[in-house]
Structure 1
Amino acid sequence: MAELVEAIGCVTFTEITNEHFLAVGMRNYWDGYFAGRAAPLGLAPAEVVHAVFYNFADGEVARHIPWVWGKITPEEALAIRERGSAAALRQQIGQLADSPGLPRLADLATRAAVSAPTTGRPLYAGLRALDVPDEPVAKLWHAATLLREHRGDGHNAALVAHGIGGTEAHVLYALAHDIQPERFGRIHHLPPQQLAAVIDGLRDRGLVDPASGFTDAGRRIRESIEEATDQLAVAPYDVLSAAELDELIVGLEPVAALL
């Protein structure tokens, strides 16, 4: 489900949605990203958005929040994000958008998405406070976004419990996929000294070896975080029967394959 949800939810971060935000005065992609994703938190200051999003380097959020709120309101950002995301999803899945089974999939995904406790999950809680769209494509995107952010809040909790910061998490991800951290898209832009200090800190903890590769301890802690994230993401699906969950997975697979 994590893979299926990710594929659907991430249409938000494609060019179609970006164009909707640029049309209302956003200066670049990241203005729209932060406006749309942070909007469920209301007019939260950059420090709060930084804490909730967790994985951005210091100062990155403040380049966009609160500037974006001088151009649009959170309510407007939510409407733009939903409209752009639904348009992107509809375009990318083609005829499946109008298939007779899509409303059923949207209903099943939504039942799961609105069923989990919100305690300790600020971004998920913010999304839960919003109205669920009626239109099936928008509804499916909204459900996927709820499930994605529910998992994300749990992932952040797992990182905190294991003492891994947001930038450190990116370094561990890069190493786990045999990518040099300085070439990894989420952190390659950081000043070399800043990134080197993060890697040195992981090396001091025995998680990275002298050649900037994974140690056994580094691999174990990442596996532990992933396992905890999976366990913390289970709750929404408990409301579905085994047959309904199978139906949802089978139905979403062709959608995700197109995405």
Structure 2
Amino acid sequence: MTELSIERRMWSLFEPVHAITYFADDALGAFEAAGLRGFWRGYFAGRSAPLGAVPAGPVLAAFYGFAPRMVTRALPDVWTRITPEAALAARLDGARRVLLRVDADLTEVARLLRTAAEAVDLHGRVLGAANAMLPWPEDPAGVLWQAATILREHRGDGHVAALLVHQLDGAESIAWRVALRDGDGREFYQPARGWTDEEWDAATERLRSRGWVDADGKATGPAREAYTAIEATTDALAATPWRVLGTDATARCAELLRPVAVRMSQLLRHPNPIGLPAPA
């Protein structure tokens, strides 16, 4: 088995901490209490709130894999229901509720992850930079979630850059991911991202014309090679925080973060639209 890179390993640990905002019941309840009924209203408002009350365009660009109609259905309508400031407060409050279920002192891991998050590159990282500019909470649970969110969006911005370099558009990026699973999951991921059958089939046909998908809808060798290259680029673009934190401190951070990540994974809804796997 290929050993995970440091960047990929740390992502696997901080991603569940970030994802509680969207897929843990207590966090979803915080959005509903703030007036956002329905999963997608909370998702789009909570995730885009660091950008301010933006229209659909910047969110479509930054979130990348969603069909335009799905984004325009949510934005700017959601800002008639909640302000960005209230959405920021709701997502942090919900995350705190979930993290406080961890029976552990979060002070040290929050400090280490914050040090990594404060080292992220800001140029070209729209969501990463927007979250990095928010004020830090004062409590360890809030700091831990904020740091995980900065690192997550920073990595995601780099991943989008890698997809663009490989000339994968929004629909193709999702159809390609499903093809890498030998076609399994289309019935879930296609509606979760808002693509019609016609748009999905057209994206698959474009991938087939590149030699990335075979007649059975499964990924070919070139598609898997592209996956390796895209993930390597994503890792390289996410390396700075861990280089600044240092080898020993990163190892300590991983040690402390692992039980938190396992607990958070257990509280998430599976399957979920971001493809975060269920805990083993």
What is aligned with 1:174?
178
d(CA) in 1 for partners of 2:233, 2:227:
10
What is aligned with 1:209?
214
Match of 1:232 among 228, 233, 237: 237
Specify every segment of 5 or more residues in structure 1 that has no aligned partner in the other structure, as ranges.
Answer: none
**Residue identity (%):** 39
Supply the AA of the counterpart residue of 1:117. D
Match of 1:222 among 204, 222, 227: 227
What is aligned with 1:24?
34
- The secondary structure found in structure 1 opposite 2:189 is coil
Note closer, same or farther for the CA distance 1:182–1:117 as it changes in structure 2 (3 Å cut): closer
1:161 correspondence with 2:175: no
What is aligned with 2:272?
none
What is aligned with 1:61?
71
Supply the AA of the counterpart residue of 1:13. Y
Once the two structures are superposed, residues 20-46 of structure 1 have per-residue CA deviations (whole angstroms, 9 ceiling, x without a partner) of: 112222231100111010001112110
- The secondary structure found in structure 2 opposite 1:76 is helix
Matches within 5 A, 1:85-164: 85-91=95-101, 93=102, 95-96=103-104, 99=105, 102-164=106-168
What is aligned with 2:249?
244
Once the two structures are superposed, residues 44-63 of structure 1 have per-residue CA deviations (whole angstroms, 9 ceiling, x without a partner) of: 11011100111111211111
What is aligned with 1:7?
16
d(CA) in 2 for partners of 1:105, 1:159:
32
Structure 2 length normalisation: TM-score?
Answer: 0.86
d(CA) in 1 for partners of 2:197, 2:59:
25
- The secondary structure found in structure 1 opposite 2:167 is coil
- The secondary structure found in structure 2 opposite 1:60 is helix
CA contact (8 A) 1:181 1:187 kept: no
Supply the AA of the counterpart residue of 1:3. S
Supply the AA of the counterpart residue of 1:235. T
Supply the AA of the counterpart residue of 1:199. T
Supply the AA of the counterpart residue of 1:154. G
1:192 correspondence with 2:197: yes
- What's the offset of the Cα at 1:195? 1.1
CA contact (8 A) 2:114 2:147 kept: yes
CA contact (8 A) 1:174 1:184 kept: no
d(CA) in 2 for partners of 1:112, 1:251:
14
- What's the offset of the Cα at 1:222? 1.4
- The secondary structure found in structure 1 opposite 2:110 is helix
d(CA) in 1 for partners of 2:218, 2:182:
9
Match of 1:257 among 247, 253, 262: 262
- What's the offset of the Cα at 1:187? 4.3
- What's the offset of the Cα at 1:219? 1.1
- What's the offset of the Cα at 1:170? 1.5
CA contact (8 A) 2:110 2:147 kept: yes
- The secondary structure found in structure 2 opposite 1:185 is helix
Specify every segment of 5 or more residues in structure 2 that has no aligned partner in the other structure, as ranges.
Answer: 1-9, 265-280
1:74 correspondence with 2:79: no
d(CA) in 1 for partners of 2:125, 2:117:
13
d(CA) in 1 for partners of 2:190, 2:43:
14
d(CA) in 2 for partners of 1:17, 1:179:
32
d(CA) in 2 for partners of 1:2, 1:187:
26
CA contact (8 A) 1:13 1:33 kept: yes
CA contact (8 A) 1:172 1:222 kept: no
- The secondary structure found in structure 1 opposite 2:138 is coil
**Number of equivalences:** 253
d(CA) in 1 for partners of 2:190, 2:130:
25
Once the two structures are superposed, residues 150-195 of structure 1 have per-residue CA deviations (whole angstroms, 9 ceiling, x without a partner) of: 0000000000011012221222222223343532435466322221
Superposition CA RMSD, Å: 1.4
